[in-house]
Amino acid sequence: MATPITPSVRYYRRGTTKVLWVPTIANIQTPTRSEIEAGTALESETGAMAGWQTTSATVPTAALGSRFTPTVPGEITAADSSLTFWASKDGEDVRQILVREAAGFVIWMDEGDTEDGTMDVYPVTVTSQAKVRDMDTAAQIMAQFAITSVPAENVAIPAAAGGGG
- In terms of residue numbers, what domain contains 24? 18-49+80-156
- Between the two ends of the chain, the Cα-to-Cα distance in Å is 38
Q: Mean pLDDT across the stretch 99-117?
A: 95
Whether 108 is covered by a domain: the verdict is yes
Q: What's the domain count of the chain?
A: 1
Whether 74 is covered by a domain: the verdict is no
Task: Give the C-alpha distances (Å, rounded to integers) separating 108 from 11, 36, 41, 155.
Answer: 15, 11, 10, 10
pLDDT in tens, 61-101: 999 999 999 999 999 999 899 999 999 999 899 999 999 99
Whether 91 is covered by a domain: the verdict is yes
Query: What's the rounded Cα separation, in Å, for the pair 105 and 24?
Result: 7
Whether 164 is covered by a domain: the verdict is no
Whether 142 is covered by a domain: the verdict is yes
Q: Please report the DSSP string for 46-95 in residue order.
A: EEEEE---EEEEEEE---TT-S---EEEEEEEE--EEEEEEPPTTS-SGG
Per-residue pLDDT at 43 exceeds 60: yes
Mean pLDDT of the chain: 94
